[in-house]
A and B are shown apart, each in its own frame.
Chain A
Amino acid sequence: MGVAIEAYGLRKRFISYERVGFLKRRRVTIEALRGVSFRVGWGEVYGLLGPNGAGKTTTVKILATLLIPDGGYALVNGYDTVKQPQAVRRSIGLVLYPDKGFYSRLSGYENLVYFGRLYGLDKRTAQARARELLEIVGLREAMDRPYEEYSLGMRARLAIARALMHDPPILILDEPTIGLDPLSAREVRELVRKLSKEGKAVLFTSHNLWEVEEVCDRVGIINNGSMVIEGSPRDIKDMLGLKYVVEVEVLVNGHVEVLREETLTPVHTLRKLINEAEARGLNVIRVRINEPSLEEVFVRVVRSEGR
């Protein structure tokens, strides 16, 4: 698996001014990124997680050539985001604000055709592609309705359709399922998985941790502008030593009792608990292994980093 996105030591600081009186203002430096590095392979869905203000959107904007980093570099499809921005732009599809970013009085179809043409598609190709994508994202019925009449979910789906208009090999999706109902969100996740199976690389940010766990092959948790931990959801849990909870329900004198143990080796513990129950002549009714969630990982990592 080759590398689709490579970020190395990305640094970014913003200057802000706070009012401290009628005319006076104070210069404030905000360290948005402090050397973020990660890689996304072809056919991989990479989840970027982090609390608000962690630096996720800054990273996304650097990769999309909307921001120039103060330090480090990023290669997208092998092109440098600062030195070869045009080549990068042709390689990516971006979802930045799922709830806006379109012309309100134009229909979804007209919006897609227009943005397709800005990406160099001729009129017929843009029209055909727009129809095809509206079908895929389930907006075929509403394609001629003005964008301003679209629900939040419809807007988010249209944003994904726009990102796919020029069939880019890389997708950068900044919270694409925000505001979507569960069914629509699942459809988006299925679409993302399908696209990754086709070989596209996907960078996916979300606040919905179980969603990231479900859809992403690898995850990076970013906090205070630094990459705190990175790996597959399972590897991260193992790295942090998060324990599984093994539960064995047994029948004791007609009552149900639960034997519970936290462990790093769930199979071994399960076998041990069953053996113990059987040795005591207890009837095992049900067993359950609760895997630690990404949410636990996230909370532990972010808390330990001092947020």
Chain B
Amino acid sequence: MRVGKLGALYAVMINELRIISREPGGLALLVILPYFIAGGTAFIASFFTRVTVGTFTRQFLGFEVLMLSLIMVQVGARFLWEERNGGRLEFLLISPVGMYVILFGTSLTMVLVNVGAFTVASLPVLYLNYGFVGMVKLALALLLLFIGLFPLYGIGLIIAGLIMRFNDANAVMNIIAPILTILSGSTYPVYVLPWWVRDLVYILPMYQTFYSMYMEITGRAYVHLVINLILSAVIYLLLGGTIYANLEKDFRKKGV
């Protein structure tokens, strides 16, 4: 019996979890580290609660979105690099399931592990500040985060394609990671930026994801933000898919 893309996606995710857990310190990376980072972030951000609850929420969500964004855009690309070095890339490229599913599954695994940690770390603080409603709002905010992962995956596809094209992971990552961090707009007030940088921040999906989540939790109007986020998901996915397909084709022309 044959199964579809979802079955393959599940298999990729389980396989990724299995591989990480078998690496030295892998279980710590999967179980302890995300909670350590999320808990640490919550601890630092909690100092802002002395100023205002909103500031805490803003900082906490900002760090979460930043961290998940970096994971989402980098994991697929790094995975591709490791597969190439391990002689496995060719077998993934010729598997009928397609590289889109494999890259998405790999990135999603790490994202889910970290989302879990951030959710657990944020629950007590949100409950204390917003009560039960805060927890319900968090669930909706996580849904927005899930939508926000798709445009990030689109960017991840472009980076994965660039890594295949230029046959180098570190050089590409060293350029892209700091740019994404600076332009995330999720851990600092955006209004301090020059207008042209601010416009760049607005069109990138990190800020849209973060701001939608923040607005949901603080209970303000956000419908236009959700629409922006969905549009952003469609545009970045199309862009990422098209660029990746072209770069992969180029890769197949130049030689695997």
Q: Which of A64, A68, A100, A122 contacts B87 (CB 8 A)?
A: A100
Assuming the contacts A103-B88, A110-B18, asked whether A86 and B93 have C-beta atoms less than 8 A apart, the reply is no
Assuming the contacts A96-B90, A101-B91, asked whether A89 and B96 have C-beta atoms less than 8 A apart, the reply is yes
Most buried by B among A64, A105, A118, A124: A118
Set of chain A residues within 8 Å of B3, measured between Cβ atoms: 117, 120-122
> Would you give the 0/1 interface string for B90-109, flagging 1 where the beta carbon is closer than 8 Å to chain A?
11111111000010000000
Closest A-chain residue to B14, C-beta based?
A: A114
Q: Which of A65, A100, A106 contacts B94 (CB 8 A)?
A: A65
Closest B-chain residue to A103, C-beta based?
A: B19
A101-B7 in contact (CB<8A): no
Task: Please classify how large the interface on chain A is, using the bins under 10, 10 to 19, 20 to 34, 35 or more.
Answer: 35 or more
Closest A-chain residue to B3, C-beta based?
A: A122
A120-B90 in contact (CB<8A): no
Q: Which of B15, B95, B252 contacts A119 (CB 8 A)?
A: B95
Q: With the chains together, A100 CA to B97 CA distance in Å?
A: 21
B198 at the interface (CB under 8 A from A): no
Assuming the contacts A15-B254, A105-B19, A105-B23, asked whether A66 and B94 have C-beta atoms less than 8 A apart, the reply is yes
Task: Please classify how large the interface on chain B is, using the bins under 10, 10 to 19, 20 to 34, 35 or more.
Answer: 20 to 34
Set of chain A residues within 8 Å of B8, measured between Cβ atoms: 117-118, 120
Q: With the chains together, A221 CA to B196 CA distance in Å?
A: 62
A102 at the interface (CB under 8 A from B): yes
Q: With the chains together, A67 CA to B97 CA distance in Å?
A: 18
Set of chain A residues within 8 Å of B7, measured between Cβ atoms: 117, 120, 122-123
Q: Which of B11, B86, B87 contacts A118 (CB 8 A)?
A: B11
A14-B87 in contact (CB<8A): no
B220 at the interface (CB under 8 A from A): no
Set of chain A residues within 8 Å of B203, measured between Cβ atoms: none
Closest A-chain residue to B101, C-beta based?
A: A118
Q: With the chains together, A121 CA to B93 CA distance in Å?
A: 17
A125 at the interface (CB under 8 A from B): yes
Assuming the contacts A114-B11, A118-B95, A120-B2, asked whether A66 and B87 have C-beta atoms less than 8 A apart, the reply is no
Closest B-chain residue to A126, C-beta based?
A: B11
A66-B90 in contact (CB<8A): yes
Q: With the chains together, A94 CA to B96 CA distance in Å?
A: 13
Q: With the chains together, A67 CA to B249 CA distance in Å?
A: 9
B254-A117 in contact (CB<8A): no
A8 at the interface (CB under 8 A from B): no
Assuming the contacts A68-B249, A101-B86, asked whether A94 and B91 have C-beta atoms less than 8 A apart, the reply is yes
A118-B97 in contact (CB<8A): yes
Q: With the chains together, A101 CA to B95 CA distance in Å?
A: 13
Q: With the chains together, A96 CA to B87 CA distance in Å?
A: 9
Q: With the chains together, A100 CA to B84 CA distance in Å?
A: 11
Set of chain A residues within 8 Å of B86, measured between Cβ atoms: 100-101, 103-104
B252-A66 in contact (CB<8A): yes
A67-B94 in contact (CB<8A): no
Expressed in whole angstroms, the minimum distance between the Cβ of A42 and any Cβ of chain B is 21
A101-B255 in contact (CB<8A): no
Closest B-chain residue to A121, C-beta based?
A: B2
> Would you give the 0/1 interface string for A183-219, flagging 1 where the beta carbon is closer than 8 Å to chain B?
0000000000000000000000000000000000000
Set of chain A residues within 8 Å of B192, measured between Cβ atoms: none
B256 at the interface (CB under 8 A from A): yes
Give A79-101 interface residues, CB cut-off 8 Å to B. Answer: 86, 89-90, 92, 94, 96-97, 100-101
B97-A120 in contact (CB<8A): yes
A145 at the interface (CB under 8 A from B): no
B175 at the interface (CB under 8 A from A): no
A94-B94 in contact (CB<8A): yes
> Would you give the 0/1 interface string for A1-38, flagging 1 where the beta carbon is closer than 8 Å to chain B?
00000000000001100000000000000000000000
Pick 22 A–B contacts, CB within 8 A, sort by A.
A14-B255, A65-B93, A66-B93, A66-B94, A89-B96, A90-B96, A92-B94, A96-B91, A101-B90, A106-B19, A110-B18, A114-B15, A117-B3, A118-B92, A118-B96, A118-B97, A119-B97, A120-B3, A121-B2, A121-B3, A122-B2, A123-B11
Give 4 closest A-B pairs by Cβ, nearest first: A117-B11, A100-B87, A105-B22, A118-B95
* Chain B residues within CB distance 8 Å of chain A: 1-4, 7-8, 11-12, 15, 18-19, 22-23, 86-88, 90-97, 102, 249, 252-256
